[in-house]
Amino acid sequence: MPQPNDQRLFAVILGTNEIASAIGIQLMRAGYCVVLSHDPDPPVIRRKMAFHDALFTDTAQLEDIVAERVDDGMQVYQALRRPARILVTWLGLLDLLPVRHIDLLIDARLQKRRITPDLRRLARLTIGLGPGFSSHFNCDVAVETRPGRIGLVGERRWTDAADGVASTLGDVGAERFVYSQFAGRWHTPIEIGTRVYKDLVLGHLSGIPVLAPRDGVLRGIARDGSEIPVGVKLLEIDPRGRDAQWTGTDGRGRTIAHATTAAVRLHAGRRISQWNPA
């Protein structure tokens, strides 16, 4: 139920990727003021399926929702007194904590190589997505994001560890991606949605050419000028021909978003039952 403008629910999502963006859309439609907080690792490649580029262009549209960039806490505070919206920011969690008590904090960065932080007590409800989360250890609710197993994780259990196996797209797995072999600065003139062919030069990482791994449509690519760490996805090719998708939310993003909002509703129901025992 949407809140009055002076009592807007405040959600912070760590990450500006396509998963964070799909969740942000559902929360905004539920009446939240949503802030997506950028983290550079891993870089966002599916940028036409996310609000990420608002960081550079002031606004970004995904489906029928326009997100806007904010640069300081005062802008966030003022947004909490206006109709529900999605904001994208360079501000980190430590910058956002003083704005107002956070109602909902979600870590949607899907960081497979880092130790996940303890989010508990930083918000009224904290949710961890993907590898490295347990509701008994570092969040209130853990959500599995692994294909085929998306959903809430039971108490005292951990989400599945990253296994290095890429999900399939049109029966193609990891071979549709190019990973960075070393850290460096990335440059590319190629736009997402471009039809590409195997061995076409798609960009340069610190001057070294990076080639398309196969024929298809460019589904994602790191933004030109980005600093890239070693071992992360630089680009993705969609091999599905006419069925290729590079804009809007996709099925996986929507499924994870539904699982996350279900966790929010479940927690809200538990709180109501605690205040109104039978």
pLDDT in tens, 79-88: 999 999 999 9
Mean pLDDT of the chain: 91
More confident residue, 1 or 131: 131
42 preceded by a cis bond (ω within 30 of 0): yes
- Specify the pLDDT at position 269: 65
Residue 169: DSSP 8-state = B
- Which whole-number Å values give the CA distances from 128 to 132, 196, 218, in the listed order? 8, 36, 30
Mean pLDDT of all residues in 207-235: 96
Mean pLDDT of all residues in 168-188: 93
- Specify the pLDDT at position 114: 73
Inter-residue contact 167 to 252 (CB < 8 Å): yes
What's the first-to-final CA gap in the chain, in angstroms? 24
Coil, helix or strand at residue 216? strand
pTM equals: 0.91
- Which whole-number Å values give the CA distances from 36 to 24, 50, 55, 152, 240, in the listed order? 8, 10, 10, 22, 30
Structure tokens belonging to residue 19? 């998963």
Q: Is the dihedral of CA 1, 3, 126, 96 positive or negative?
A: positive
Hey, what domains does the chain have and what are their CATH numbers? 5-162+265-275 (3.40.50), 174-239 (2.40.50.100)
